[in-house]
Structure 1
Amino acid sequence: MESRGSDPARPLSYEGVWRFTAPAVGISVPRARHAVRDLLKRQRVPVRDDVVQGVLLIVSELVTNAVQHAALLSPELAVEIAVGAEWIRVSVEDDHPYRPGPLEPGTDQTRTGGRGLLLVREITREAGGSCDAEHTAGGGKIVWALLPFTSPFGGLPARGSVTSPRRAP
């Protein structure tokens, strides 16, 4: 991992916040996933492949939820990727006010959908990260997930050791 050297205030070359918008339609799901993958590669974010795969699955699930459940009130969605010294935060924002919650394991096994947020929660939990949904000032919502670059499975940061970064203005 790149060192900050003698200037702890100087951001690392891969740190930053990137935001893009997309129409709330199905084709935006793979486009968002590819855009995030390309961003992480272009910025040379020093993250393990299993974490990248988790981030990309989370992007797919969150964008899919916005397309399927918010498009009527929110024809456009925003994807934001924030990269810190040791974490990645992905969020999807839409203008629909409903804050979804994941189905709990074992609920109505005949349903074909509704498990995306459960999957997001499990990926972030297993990676030692966190996820949540928040209301926006405009009445919509942001659903986000934060993952550390490393996983507790490798004897690295334990769950709860990573805190959510502040949102960029």
Structure 2
Amino acid sequence: MEALPHRHVLTLPSVPAAVRVARQTAEQTLREWGIGLRHPTVDPALLILSELVTNSVRHAAALSPKITVFYAAGPDCFVFAVHDRHPYQPPLYGAITERGSGGLGTVMELVLGLRGTAVARADADGKGKSIWITLPL
């Protein structure tokens, strides 16, 4: 992420309103970075972001009163991550074939359809994780 010229970090309480704020922040940030909201990657990216924040709010809030969203972009990619302090790391690529994976399966189908990548990274202490999404622009 350090190599990308545009970066923004947002920390929010783990409440349902965080989804709206994270999405609105992404829209504003992308505009400021000169990435038009009509770019074909933006709508799917906003849906992916919304699903990841929703998952953190729904499943991690008891252990993670706050979530952090990282946004970054370069000339050819948009990168974002959602971090919470719940240790469970979902099987991202397994979500595509797993029945009942819900929103995470949709997230992964969108990521792969856009030729992007998704990575779950554990915190150093093992008590939290970040889900990183990289999408080409």
Quote the offset at 1:141 in angstroms.
0.2
Letter in 2 for 1:128: R
**Equivalent residue for 1:32, pick from 11, 17, 22:** 22
Quote the offset at 1:48 in angstroms.
5.3
- Post-superposition Cα deviations, 1:102-127, rounded to whole Å, max 9, x if no partner, equal 5444725xxxxx42111111111111
CA distance in 1, matches of 2:98, 2:123: 31
CA distance in 2, matches of 1:85, 1:118: 28
Structural mapping, 1:20-59, within 5 Å:
20-45=10-35, 49-59=39-49
TM-score (normalised: structure 1): 0.71
- The answer to which structure, 1 or 2, has the higher relative contact order (CA under 8 A, 6+ apart) is 2
Structure in which a larger fraction of residues adopt strand = 2
Q: Which moved more, 1:123-132 or 1:66-75?
A: 123-132
RMSD: 2.0
Contact kept? 1:120, 1:145, Cα under 8 Å: no
Contact kept? 1:89, 1:147, Cα under 8 Å: yes
CA distance in 2, matches of 1:29, 1:117: 15
- Post-superposition Cα deviations, 1:9-59, rounded to whole Å, max 9, x if no partner, equal xx89xx321111000000110111011011101221267522010110011
Structural mapping, 1:48-127, within 5 Å:
49-102=39-92, 103-105=95-97, 107-108=99-100, 114-127=101-114
* Amino-acid identity (%): 36
Structure 1, gaps ≥5 residues long: 1-10, 109-113, 150-169
Does 2:118 correspond to 1:131? Answer: yes
CA distance in 1, matches of 2:91, 2:103: 10
CA distance in 1, matches of 2:6, 2:125: 24
TM-score (normalised: structure 2): 0.87
CA distance in 1, matches of 2:34, 2:57: 29
- Post-superposition Cα deviations, 1:59-94, rounded to whole Å, max 9, x if no partner, equal 100100100010000000000011122001110001
**Which structure has the larger Rg over C-alpha atoms?**
1
Shift of the 104–87 alpha-carbon distance from structure 1 to 2, 3 Å rule, reads closer
Structure in which a larger fraction of residues adopt helix = 2
Structure 1 stretches of at least 4 aligned residues deviating more than 3 Å after TM superposition: 102-106
CA distance in 1, matches of 2:68, 2:15: 12
Q: How many residues were matched structurally? A: 132
